[in-house]
Amino acid sequence: MFNLLKPHGEKLAALLNNEKLPHPDKPRVEKAIECYNKWLETLKDITGDMKVVPEMVSHLTAYKRYIDV
């Protein structure tokens, strides 16, 4: 389909590799990366014309709610 920019993924990876990240937070960051990658795969699997926009927004909203909470 197309290559997606991944600035949020890069930030999550940098956070995971940060030596100052408290050890108890590491599993949460790993889970966030897992959700991020799943979200990207979901976007890549969506095909069609402009009708796909609501579906893409729905997946973005679900991911955003996971990250924000």
Query: Is residue 66 assigned to a domain?
Result: yes
Query: Is residue 59 assigned to a domain?
Result: yes
pLDDT by residue (tens digit) across 9-58?
899 999 999 999 999 999 999 999 999 998 888 878 777 777 788 888 88
Return d(Cα 47, Cα 24) in angstroms, integer.
Answer: 39
Q: Which residue has the tokens 């095909």?
A: 47
Size of the chain in residues: 69
The pTM for the full model equals 0.71
Query: Is residue 8 assigned to a domain?
Result: no
Query: Is residue 14 assigned to a domain?
Result: no
Query: Is residue 54 assigned to a domain?
Result: yes
Query: Is residue 51 assigned to a domain?
Result: yes
15 phi and psi angles, rounded to 5 deg = -65, -45
Query: Is residue 21 assigned to a domain?
Result: no
Specify the number of domains making up the chain.
1
Query: Is residue 7 assigned to a domain?
Result: no
Query: What's the domain range around 66?
Result: 27-69
Q: What does the longest C-alpha to C-alpha distance in the chain come to?
A: 44
